[in-house]
Structures are given as C-alpha cells and as structure tokens.
Amino acid sequence: MEFEEERLLSDLAEIDLQKYLQVPKPCRRDLYEEMKQATPARIGVWRCGPRPLTDTLLRFRADHAVAQDSVLGEVDPQFPLRYGMIPVQTMCTDKDHYLTRPDLGRKLDENSLSIISENCSKGAQIQIIVSDGLSSKAVEANIPDLLPALLQGLKGLGITVGTLIFVKYGRVAVMDTIGELLKPEASVILIGERPGLGTAESMSAYMGYNPRIGMVESERCVISNIHKGGVPAVEAGAHLATVLKKILDAKASGVSSGVII
C-alpha cells in the first residue's frame, strides 16, 4: 500500500503571541496592539461561545509541552566542559529524585565534595556556580553569552574569580555548601528558573556575601528573568559584575545590605 508523503505541521510555539491579534475587528486596534506589546500574558485570545478558540488551546498545550521538556530535560554532559567548569552533582540521583526531594538538591554527594576540595581554588573574591535547576534550556540558552560578559566585567574591576563549577540537579542553597568548602568572599549561582508558558529559557542569578551553611534567604540578592524576552544575557552578565562589586564593597548582601540591584 502506498502512503501519502508525510507533511510536517507548523510549529505553533514559533508564533509571537504579542503580535498575534485574535480578536476579529477590534474597535480600538491601536489600543489592542499596545496592550499586547506591553505584556507576554495571554490577553485578547477571543473565544467560540464560552470556549477558547482551537488555536488558543493548541498553543497553550504546545507551550506547556515546551516547559515540561525544559524541566525534565538534561544539560549536555559536554556543556560544562566547554566553558571550563568542574562538573559535580547533588545528592539527587535523577530528575524525578530532584523534583521530589528539594532538600537533597541543596547538598552535594560525597564524590562531589571530594572533587571540589581537591580541584577548586579557595578564598577567591567571587565564586561562580552554574546549575541546571528547573530549566536545562535556560542554561544552554544563556550561559554562552552571560558567562563571558560576567567574567570580562569582573576582570575589568580587578576582582578574582574561583574555579568555575557546574552543579547537576542543584537548588539555590547548594551555593552555601560550596561556600562552606571554598570560603569565597561572595558567591553567585546562575540557575534555571521554573519554566512558564511565556518562556522556558529564563535564568536567575542569586548572590550572597560570605556564603555558608545556614545562610537565610534574606541575605541573598537576585536578578531574575534573564532571557531574550527579559533581561538579555549579555546585559545581565555585565550588570552582575557591578552588583557583585557593590556586595564586596558593602561586605554584605540581601535586604539589609543597602545594595541596590
């Protein structure tokens, strides 16, 4: 039996929803366009009776699938090596373990503790950590531009940087465990954010002075929404360097430090 040649369907996720006007014959098209451009939220999607349009529902499911892929996906094992990062792993054994045991994502396994102790420099002014977190896509999309900009910015400010570390299955507070081992003045962890329907490539940068076990969340500074539709990676890298300089000068971080992000 002969089959028709398989036809590929268009990728719904490629449509820019901020430019896609679904309301037919809007009475104020200019205002409608302005509202769409002001937010990535799903506004003006129209309806069929009380139900959403078919393409609205399909786009929702497509974006949800992209978000799931980012959470459940893995960063290429060769990726950290291309940027000179020492790869280590938390006490989580796989992605399911990571998602169900957040506490273990804050601790390193015994092998990783040994690797860091034996191969990473101690006492640097800034310790940079990269972690997949809840979005593998965020790491692969942003680090190629963000990391060089950050390193260049810190170098220009005369700030020493420790051995770069990549943590698989990491949570934010794993920076405290690494800080306890390496004793840097301050630390920053670049970590994938939980994906949403707007983007699956968003990254955050959490910074802390004197990182150590027992550090509370109010002692951290954070820059979030680092992605092509938010804070561009290159811009974020350069800005992070200046914020880290402020943290070193203030010898403090977080809400009581007076450091303005």
User: How far apart are the C-alpha atoms of 129 and 116, rounded to whole Å?
Assistant: 12
User: How far apart are the C-alpha atoms of 254 and 187, rounded to whole Å?
Assistant: 13
| DSSP secondary structure, 118-147, as one string | HHS--S-SEEEEEE-TT-HHHHHHHHHHHH
The two three-digit tokens of residue 146, written as one number: 């963000």
With 0-12 CB in 10 A as exposed, 13-18 as middle and 19+ as buried, what is 90? buried
Q: Where are the domains of the chain?
A: 12-72, 79-250
| pLDDT tens for the 261 residues of the chain, in order | 454 555 666 777 678 888 888 898 899 999 999 999 888 888 888 888 889 888 888 888 888 888 888 888 899 999 999 999 999 999 999 999 999 999 999 999 999 999 999 999 999 999 999 999 999 999 999 999 999 999 999 999 999 999 999 999 999 999 999 999 999 999 999 999 988 777 889 999 999 999 999 999 999 999 999 998 889 999 999 999 999 999 999 999 999 888 887
The dihedrals phi and psi of 32, each to the nearest 5 degrees, come to -60, -50
Q: Which letter does DSSP use for residue 169 in this model? A: T
Taking phi over 0 as left and psi of -120 to 50 as alpha, with beta for the rest, 151 belongs to alpha
CATH superfamily of 79-250: Ethanolamine ammonia-lyase light chain (EutC) (3.40.50.11240)
Structural fold of domain 12-72: DNA Binding (I), subunit A (1.10.30)
Secondary structure class of 191 (helix, strand, coil)? strand
Q: Do residues 191 and 137 lie in contact, with contact meaning Cβ atoms separated by under 8 Å?
A: no
Question: Do the annotations mark residue 172 as ligand-binding?
Answer: yes
Q: Do residues 204 and 222 lie in contact, with contact meaning Cβ atoms separated by under 8 Å?
A: yes
Residue 139: what residue type?
V
With 0-12 CB in 10 A as exposed, 13-18 as middle and 19+ as buried, what is 225? middle
Q: How many C-alpha atoms does 105 have within 13 Å on its Cβ side? A: 19
Q: Which of these, 171, 147, 172, lies nearest to 161 by C-alpha position?
A: 147
pLDDT of residue 261: 79
Q: CA-based angle 139:168:134, to the nearest 5?
A: 55
pLDDT of residue 4: 52
Secondary structure class of 218 (helix, strand, coil)? helix
Q: Residue 194, Cβ neighbours under 10 Å: how many?
A: 14
Question: Do the annotations mark residue 234 as ligand-binding?
Answer: no
Q: What is the pTM of this model?
A: 0.86
User: How far apart are the C-alpha atoms of 178 and 211, rounded to whole Å?
Assistant: 8
